Amino acid sequence: MGAYGRLLRYVAAIRSEVALKVLIGVAISATYIGQALVMAKAVSVVFVGGSVADISRYLVIALMAVFLRGYLTRVMESYSKVMAAKVKNKIRLTIFDKILRLGPSYLNNKRSGRVQSLVLDGIESLEPFLVYYVPQIITISITGLAIGIYLTLLDWVTGAIIIVAMLLCVIVPYLTVPLVSRSIVTYWSSYAMLNAQYVDAMQGMTTLQAFKASRVKGVELADNALAFYRQAIRNTTFSLIDSGLMMILTSIAASITVAIAAFRTDIGIIPIIAVSAFLFLAVECARPMADLNNYWHNSFLGLSVAKELFEIVDKNLEIIEKEEPDRTSLDLGLPSVHFSEVIFAYHGGGKPAINNVTLDIKAGETVALVGRSGSGKSTIVNLLLRFYDPSQGKILINGVDIKDYSIEYLQSKIAVVFQDTYLFQGTIAENLRMARPDADDNTVMAAAKSAGAHDFIMALSDGYQTIIGERGATLSGGEKQRLAIARAILKDAPLLILDEATSNVDAKSEALIQKTLESLTRNRTTIIIAHRLSTIQHADKIYVLDESNLAETGTHHELLQLKGVYADLVDAQRRGDGHE
């Protein structure tokens, strides 16, 4: 089914609202038709020399129709907004849910500005089609049919001309679809590209300024804005030509109708009142047609965006959940983790990010993963969280393949402190409660205290209610990391992953956090990824990765004695020439 047909399914989801809107639309048309008929009557009364009282009566009825229409139009407009909010919300939820299920691997290859344009502006542009065009075409079918039948009964020749003209008005705009849609697709692409570049420039503002590249980026943005402007003008031109053609077509049809009706009256086939009826009703047929054409043009952007939206809806999930997934085996004591000859390569990544890696982490152990940058440590975490599935090999937790677990259940049992802490626009308390929404204030505060975050939070203007900017823009790297640790403490999951957990904090905070982490790891199975090798000397086991392969395994002392990769890393760190 094409994008149009699929969009209609969303209209079906709000069918009662559409039905009510059509009803109001028909009522509005009825006021137009009523007014036209009354005016026709008034004009014919003038011709036969009727009294002023008669004419005034008709004019009063016409005036009442005008007021009633004004009221109904207002009701319909506000109702349209409610409908629009409902249907757009429904589509946004569907897309958002799908993107979440597609997971990080999907977004890795996308520009965030592009996805943002699609989900926000793209869905916004569906409103004219879903909320205006579709109800209008149903309304026109009903009222057009009624007027057509009425006029055909008055005079079938003139009535037939009006019906043919109305059909042409619906069909003709479709003939320009190939031309206009090409132009709109280009328009949308240049808009999405401009948006993506803008978001990119905003996010990388500090880098641009540090490298004095703001001007170059500004010129690039200006060029793209110009291209977008040109495309917008081209679209408007197409739209105006099309609307102009429609206006000419409807005017010609109305004039021919009235001329033929006048001629047939003159030769005595139809009465004079019929000419007046044709005169006014022909105009009433043209008006909703012009509206329809308008809605059609406004719908075009949405219709081209819809294809892109449905590409997301149709995208196959790479991470598929089992039909009746396991939701219990992770509750059986502390988890053990086993990687069995796991191989994994990212899409477009070329060589495997981890190659034939076997790990054996016993329940309650604290193990460390170390290795040079790019050796595959974070990839192991990504696989454990099922952001990706291994190309070969198996990952077992508590002896069960992680593919057999419900993804939500699996992820609820793992607390991670990522290298790059993501904080959302909102209060500190809200950001912490993400880990456990039902946590009361005391529990939130206790977690922050344990993570060494309480003091700096209290020093902020509104304490836990302080709003932190997007991505925690108003906090230092170390502060963000302590909030991330507090989140992990709040989550209270049996498997804890600390990815470079203390890399962003000063020596004093690090000592404090180390103490917290020691108590935190006591009743958990913990995987620590650390470049500061001093912090993992007491780990039960250290796995050393080297160029995607597992190079060495052992305790700190055993590995030092091996005088291999680990000993080199420790040596390099001692000499103070960086982490590697």
Q: Which of residues 402-421 bind ligand ATP (CB under 6 A)?
A: none
Judged by CB, which is closer to ligand ATP: 178, or 350?
A: 350
Any residues with CB less than 8 A from the CB of 174 and at least 6 apart, and which? Answer: none
Query: Does residue 498 touch ligand ATP according to CB under 6 A?
Result: no
Q: What are phi and psi of 142, to 5 degrees?
A: -70, -50
Instruction: Choose between 289 and 354: whose C-beta lies nearer to ligand ATP.
Output: 354
CB of 499 to ligand ATP, least distance (A): 8
Report the residue number, 139 or 502, with the smaller CB distance to ligand ATP: 502
Q: Say how many residues touch ligand ATP, by CB under 6 A.
A: 12
- Can you tell me which of 373, 507, 576, 577 binds ligand ATP, judged by CB under 6 A? 373
Which one of residues 176, 378, 466, 549 is an interface residue with ligand ATP (CB under 6 A)? 378
**CA-CA distance, 308 to 301, in Å (whole number)?**
11
Q: Which residue has the tokens 């059986």?
A: 332
Q: Are 533 and 370 contacting, i.e. CB atoms less than 8 angstroms apart?
A: yes
Q: Which is nearer to ligand ATP, 450 or 504 (CB)?
A: 504
Out of 250, 276, 379, 521, which residue is the one contacting ligand ATP (CB under 6 A)? 379
Task: Provide, rounded to whole angstroms, the least separation between the CB of residue 315 and ligand ATP.
Answer: 17
Q: Which of 25, 144, 335, 376 binds ligand ATP (CB under 6 A)?
A: 376
Quick check: 374 binds ligand ATP (CB under 6 A)?
Answer: yes
514: left (phi over 0), alpha (psi -120 to 50) or beta: alpha
Residue 349 touching ligand ATP (CB under 6 A) = yes
Q: DSSP class of residue 373? A: T
Contact stretch for ligand ATP (CB under 6 A) within 373-381, 389-397, 459-467, 485-493: 373-381
CA distances from 529 to 276, 540, 542 (A): 86, 14, 10
Distance CA 409, CA 380 (A): 19
Residue type, 452: G
Stretch that binds ligand ATP, among 147-155, 188-196, 201-209, 369-377 (CB under 6 A): 369-377
**Applying CB under 6 A, does 135 fall inside the site for ligand ATP?**
no
Work out whether 377 is an interface residue with ligand ATP (CB under 6 A): yes
Interacting residue with ligand ATP among 73, 108, 534, 561 (CB under 6 A): 108
Nearer to ligand ATP, 89 or 108 (CB): 108
**Pairwise CA distance, residues 499 & 378, whole Å:** 7
In what helix (H) or strand (E) does residue 111 lie, and over which residues does it extend?
Answer: none
Among 125, 190, 375, 521, binds ligand ATP (CB under 6 A): 375
* CA-based torsion, 557, 562, 566, 570: positive or negative: positive
State the minimum distance, in angstroms, from the CB of residue 227 to ligand ATP. Answer: 30
CB contact at 8 A, 126 and 88: yes
What CA–CA distance (Å, rounded) separates 242 from 236? 10
Q: Given candidates 353, 357, 402, 485, which one binds ligand ATP under the rule CB under 6 A?
A: 353
355 binds ligand ATP (CB under 6 A): no
Collect contacts of 467-473 with beta carbons under 8 A, ≥24 apart: 467/425, 467/426, 467/427, 468/423, 468/425, 468/426, 468/427, 468/428, 468/431, 469/425, 470/424, 470/425, 471/422, 471/423, 472/421, 472/422, 472/423, 472/431
CB of 217 to ligand ATP, least distance (A): 24
Q: How far is the CB of 530 from ligand ATP (least distance, A)?
A: 10
Give the interface with ligand ATP as residue ranges (CB under 6 A). Answer: 108, 346, 349, 353, 371, 373-379
